[in-house]
Chains A and B, each alone.
Chain A
């Protein structure tokens, strides 16, 4: 490099430095803005409240095989001729309730549960994108009164059915959800990889399902037991481990809040949070719906 180049480089550096300083009129503090936007988009949480922990390390939690959240839940939704979600969600039935087996108690005495890994399956016409969202609440407090840490690892994937030959969503092994391409019959499996959640000690998970529902669309959630999918069974009441799961329905979506970890969890808090999330996802649903409308004949 010639000295001429050096001089030019130096001039660029100094000028950029100077230019960057021109953009500052004081200390930047974007955190309030970020918090506000996160709240606005439905990631409701109470960051101000200090995080309380179990006092167990992840390794300790994993080693003692404690925690896991979900038993099995399910809904089967059959769409009527109308694409209205309301029309197709009126009939909600549980698939299976395996209950949950207490695997002991935490160091603080709270009951912990082990549940099968759930499996999610969405049936829909292969030319309609589907979105699935899984969000988790935080750790229930030992002996506690309520959850303090809301959903922060929410992921949402849109399955691009235009490329059915490729796995959609993230196939990152660390992702919470893996989506697989729709089968020719329009069935797509969403096996949720919940072990990362388990490792995190997450005991309550909110599921929101957003499927663009034209005619003959089915949504079901069932048990995923490694290699087989348990077929749905009928019922009218959704219970998880003997406890009711909170179901919320709106004209545009359905969401279920499952609460695990014994009675120490403030159910209403979870319900509220799910509601807050639902609002956002409703908007997403509408956006997707608008997009899908264009693809319909």
Chain B
């Protein structure tokens, strides 16, 4: 936990709203990206994250400072995101449209078009995953959380996390069978 984070949490627990504001400044961008990964809608993601901060505000007395704040907060974000998805706020076309509008400035138009297509295939496959598997995948690959931290964030056993990751990767592998990862590697596309 950073000093800035600890200060903000301590302030909030003492009833200082500025502590919440500091936490918002610290986490809003990444939390919004996280929520977007799950909801696939930027406006819903922002709505989810705003609510998550309010929830954190309400529950800050329940937070133990000897534990990392990030998983505690992201658990709220992820759960809110999953609820939003479950409420029928399904993945829409908005994200895809926004995605298509982005272009790299460092690659040729042809190369970028190929990479774009490859990424879109992966993204589409990810979006077809069940929400819980997608959330697990996002925490693992986007936030680089390890399994114990994911388990804490999602509030599920580690075995469940491992299973979800395994299942998600298996489905992705199957989905991308036509556009296998090896193909990506050869083309220098999505592989690093």
Interface residues of A (CB under 8 A from B): 4-5, 7-25, 27-31, 33-34, 37-38, 41, 43, 45, 47, 51, 58, 136, 138, 149, 151-155, 170, 172, 174-176, 200, 202
Contacts and interface: CB of A to CB of B under 8 A. Distances in A.
A12 B192 CA distance: 11
Interface in B174-192: 176, 181-182, 184-185, 190-192
Given A14-B190, A23-B36, A28-B29, A9 B141 contact: yes
B38 to A, nearest CB: 11
Contact of A28 (B28, B60, B99): B28
Contacts of B49: 30
Contacts, number: 161
Contact of A15 (B42, B122, B169): B122
Contact of A202 (B15, B25, B50): B15
B28 A12 contact: no
A47 to B, nearest CB: 5
Contacts of A34: 20, 24, 50, 53-54, 57
A153 B20 CA distance: 12
B18 interface: yes
B24 A176 contact: no
Max chain B C-beta neighbours (<10 A), residue from A8, A151, A172, A202 = A8
B25 A138 contact: no
Contacts of B53: 30, 34
Interface string B1-34: 0000000000011111110110011001100111
Contacts of B41: 23
A8 B123 contact: no
Given A31-B24, A34-B54, A11 B190 contact: yes
How many residues of B sit at the interface, in one of the four size bands? Answer: 35 or more
Given A16-B141, A20-B33, A33-B46, A149 B62 contact: no
Residue of B32, B51, B191 with most partner-chain A CB within 10 A: B191
Given A30-B46, A170-B61, A172-B61, 6 more contacts: A11-B184, A14-B190, A25-B98, A30-B50, A37-B54, A154-B58
Contacts of B119: 14-15, 18-19
Contact of A51 (B18, B60, B185): B18
Contacts of B181: 4, 7-8, 11
Given A15-B122, A37-B50, A20 B36 contact: yes
A136 B16 CA distance: 12
Nearest to B137: A12
Nearest to A31: B24
B95 A47 contact: no
B66 to A, nearest CB: 11
A151 B15 CA distance: 7
Contacts of B150: none
A23 B122 contact: no
Contact of B16 (A11, A25, A51, A172): A51
8 contacts: A8-B176, A11-B181, A15-B126, A19-B36, A25-B42, A34-B54, A172-B61, A175-B62
Contacts of B60: 153
B76 interface: no
Nearest to B169: A8
B163 interface: no
A269 to B, nearest CB: 16
Contact of A47 (B21, B42, B96, B185): B21
Contacts of B28: 28-31
A81 to B, nearest CB: 36
A44 to B, nearest CB: 11
B164 to A, nearest CB: 13
B17 A45 contact: yes
A20 B142 contact: yes
Closest 9 pairs between A and B when the two form their complex, measured CB to CB: A23-B36, A15-B122, A7-B181, A152-B15, A22-B99, A20-B33, A11-B190, A16-B142, A23-B42
B185 to A, nearest CB: 5
Contacts of B169: 5, 8, 12
Contacts of A58: 14
B126 to A, nearest CB: 7
Interface in B107-140: 118-119, 122-123, 126, 137-138
